[in-house]
Chains A and B, each alone.
Chain A
């Protein structure tokens, strides 16, 4: 047990990168299957550690960082190697550990052009390390490094295995995120220098930064808002997303949707809000505004799409809008909903991208007007598409509902210090977003799955229903979508106490703010 306590996280995080090296070192002559087997085995080993940590996780104390490791790292800049898991990071950590092996299984027999499974698998594994590391890092520099590690593999994945406009899309993705990273590191450094004592330790920063003037805090927060907001992606920093998604290979899209976008929202919940609570209260209405614009705007964007994959990509803007809305309420309920929304969106949109990839493989197009009758050609895929569409539009009983409805609910009554009327307007607008979501998703379903088959008579080969590898890759996702939908308690149990703790720095129970600084701020507001 001690071994797991001290080494569990590190092994789970770094095994994939070692695996990537091994895959690189295997000579081509030994055969392609070996890469796949090694890659899958590596990701499963990592996943095994994840499961072991889940089993040993103390769910009565999810607010505490468990499996915590705190070691010297780069002393010159007082950056330490601090990793740990609490109730907020656990679901996302496990989501990553799940998605990666499924992506490897899915691509088993059909690697995208220009094939080269060796390189693609190595990149996926490298990506896994970056993503896992981001979710466990408790030191800003460590977080930043992992955050950036993610960038390059994804860039190459799009640039090399992508569609026709891959160069444009990959560079846009790269530069956009880089721009955000620059602002983010700027904010991190500002916090470091302003902290008393200087530290990058996320646990210590809330108290170390208490003396900083509110206006400074707000500036720093805004830096993070843009940096993280680009990753989310938040309106108006979202335009890289549809291009990146549309051009990326299927597994790239899945990883992007399922995990990468969550790095941004996770950053808000883990870093920005707990460390700068007073600034969060100031900036939250702005986040809320951008979130509801994203919800409506993303939905309208979806309605204008003619390409299935691009439509799903745009739907991410709308869905992440709900997540951001939940976050912007700064309530325990809202942030719980946001984390649920992250995981649900990861599972559901990941599934939708998988299906889109398989549709493309069979019909050689994703142009919606050329599709139709999927339910006749490939009934199983058609039904799964139907299920995922229902999950995505927030049907109760499936996972998507618990990200959406609680977010709307929580915006009726945001944290103290936030403008209630404004948030009620958010509530109504976001509820309107659910109608639009049903519109574009059902419209997609109708044109792709219903109607007569369009594949016959124009020279297409017989459409093959779900392959074994697809079935294996999808089954866990579907099972989780249903399980989380029916019993949301599993997730809320993990996140609830942790969110409470992360908000405790500033919040704000019914009696008023518990943090003196915020109380002063609110007092000053009232004085004006």
Chain B
């Protein structure tokens, strides 16, 4: 009771921005309307409105971030725990206070005060009634905690950089204004999603980001492939949405008719919802995750989505929207945690989906010649890491990887866009690129840094987050994870090697060797390169926000110091709405081994492509003409290569079997049945009743009867002309007759009933 009171008080005393977080998505939403209405008449044709709105949203998100840090610190002070003086993000100094406030009992009785992790920090909530139905009050509101604040900052920051980048990249586009309008709408929807207070709002925002994705993938809808890709994305997501709708429904009733996310989580934790229901709900929601976050087997839309403009790919299909699925799992984590019985286990659906995606996506990346598609498969693979991490109970690792990935993947995509912008808008690495290292140094270096981060080279961002995931599987000796997921550890390590190899391939084909295209590439202007540099800085630095305990300083698992575990400390929820995850102990040996594996992947790929490229130059043949050595020599390898080139035949299955089947034979059969089954019998009944009707409707207008006869058999043309001159006025007569007739029928009916 005390704890609850405390929670409410702290919520009330939370920063203004945290309580009024709705303003953050509201600004870009207004910007969307404004750009649509007056965008074309403004200087720059609308981008200034978008940039201003997103900048404002970013600043407010940053304020919310600072206030959240204060909020967490306040909660710790209030609980009287030992609090270190912290310096975070360049200057928020939390002074050490000794005064325990009255009634500041820790949430859990046992030894909570000693461990900072156990101090409950209430999320800041603010909601109003949306509508009432059947006595259920459905709210619209905000739920702000570390996770939301982190997402707010990431989404607004990347969106802002993408806005700036786009002013150059899509300069002069036919639908420049609309492009920016939809960027704004997307930002607004995504921001709504991350602060959604209940699952219904989450569902709404979820679908809205889907629509923005549809509109932006199909931005150049004049060409059929683009609109096909847009449709595919939308429809695939709809398949997953089915799961989301059902999952949300199950949880709504399970939680006693409530969409409230906190309540659902709390009830899942306290065991008030049956485990079976949680399991079914989790499985349904996993379908939604699979479609939105590109997990097997619903990932196929994501590579096709590269048909959209590249900045959109960076923003939507790499850094932000596609992590909505991961976010949703993180948000409703108690449901998955208990539903899939993650703790103490060694396999579950979520972890398996993630692990399969991680390997399956990485393998596909090897056979792509389109640089964006490689990055798309890489995104799929990295999302697989996050989902797998959530599946093994490494919540913070997953969210931290989401955070770091957003920066380096956005950087990679924007880098690919920069390359393409310079090379005739082609994305073909083999035919149109090569040797760009010296021509585009800024693009090259930022791309290399981001690649390093993606591969997980020490000390770049991806190193820390990926290593945390591997440790989080609990498969490595003495890591003590939430469970012991050996298979996931192995898949994760294998994935690291594959990632390293395919990214090396990209770098080699794009930047090394000799230029193979026919244009005159050049480095791009500042509006493109500055966002790249900023993102590269984050790709270097973001990892330091969550150093494992004991690294670069004293501290241990229970008492991290300095920068250790700052991210986890502020982002991971502590309270009754979050399950008891176990934090794995990091292992130096694991970090060394996984880095070695990654570097081995780099070395192998570098050696291979250097050989191939040198040979192609020596033989004077194009890179695309060169047969890949091993796939011609070995049959299994060739078969595997064919399998990969055909993307495991999933597209074939979906397009040619399922979609074509439903659209073709099944729909036609249904329609045939409609026309020749139901309708024919209707016509037959019509003919029959015309015969009866002659008798029953003798008094009724002769012309109508004629019409009935004619219509059911031969259509005579005269009737129509006559009908055109008929005036109304037969209503009473007709009603009377009908009435009389049916009275007789009713009489018979009644006699039948009473006897």
Contacts and interface: CB of A to CB of B under 8 A. Distances in A.
Interface stretch (A81-89, A267-275, A445-453): A445-453
A152 B731 contact: yes
Contact of B221 (A436, A438, A450, A493): A450
A404 to B, nearest CB: 9
Contact of A300 (B227, B671, B679): B671
Contacts of B727: 24, 119
B734 interface: yes
Contact of A452 (B222, B662, B670): B222
Contacts of B712: 171
A236 B728 contact: no
B110 interface: no
Nearest to B741: A182
Nearest to B716: A167
A210 interface: no
B743 interface: yes
Contacts of B276: none
B80 interface: no
B666 interface: yes
A428 B246 contact: yes
B686 A446 contact: no
A517 B576 CA distance: 45
B679 A239 contact: yes
A427 B252 CA distance: 14
**B contact face: mostly helix, strand, loop, or mixed:** helix
A432 B704 CA distance: 43
Contacts of B667: 300-304
A332 B132 contact: no
A196 interface: no
A156 B249 contact: no
A431 B245 contact: yes
Contacts of A194: 750
Given A152-B730, A396-B208, A450-B227, A496 B134 contact: yes
A457 to B, nearest CB: 16
B482 to A, nearest CB: 31
B221 A451 contact: yes
Given A181-B738, A396-B203, A186 B133 contact: no
Interface in A113-149: 114, 116, 119, 122-123, 126, 145, 148-149
In the complex, which range does the number of interface residues on chain B fall in? Answer: 35 or more
Contacts of B746: 185-186, 189-190, 193
B726 interface: yes
Contacts of A24: 727
Interface string A230-274: 000000100110000000000000000000000000000000000
Given A488-B130, A489-B131, A492-B131, A435 B235 contact: yes
Contacts of B731: 148-149, 152
Interface in B482-499: none
Interface string B697-736: 0000000100110111001000110011011101100110
B211 interface: yes
Given A167-B711, A333-B133, A492-B132, A395 B246 contact: no
A167 B715 contact: yes
B242 A406 contact: no
Contact of B239 (A179, A300, A401, A435): A435
Nearest to B250: A412
Interface string A403-426: 001101100110000000000000
Contacts of B724: 114, 116, 160
B132 A489 contact: yes
B235 A156 contact: no
Nearest to B205: A396
A439 B249 contact: no
Interface in B241-277: 241-242, 245-246, 248-250, 252-253
For the complex of A and B, list the 9 residue pairs with the smallest distance between their C-beta atoms, beginning with the closest: A396-B204, A489-B131, A304-B671, A303-B667, A300-B670, A189-B746, A450-B221, A332-B134, A304-B667
16 contacts: A160-B723, A167-B707, A167-B715, A175-B689, A189-B742, A190-B750, A216-B753, A239-B682, A300-B670, A396-B204, A412-B250, A435-B242, A438-B234, A451-B222, A492-B133, A496-B132
Given A190-B753, A401-B204, A409-B249, 19 more contacts: A159-B707, A172-B682, A181-B738, A182-B741, A216-B753, A300-B667, A332-B134, A336-B133, A375-B221, A405-B245, A412-B249, A434-B245, A435-B235, A435-B241, A435-B242, A436-B662, A438-B234, A443-B231, A493-B132
Interface of B: 129-136, 203-205, 207-208, 211, 218, 221-222, 224, 227-228, 231, 234-235, 238-239, 241-242, 245-246, 248-250, 252-253, 659, 662-663, 666-668, 670-671, 674, 678-679, 682, 686, 689, 704, 707-708, 710-712, 715, 719-720, 723-724, 726-728, 730-731, 734-735, 738-739, 741-743, 745-746, 749-750, 753
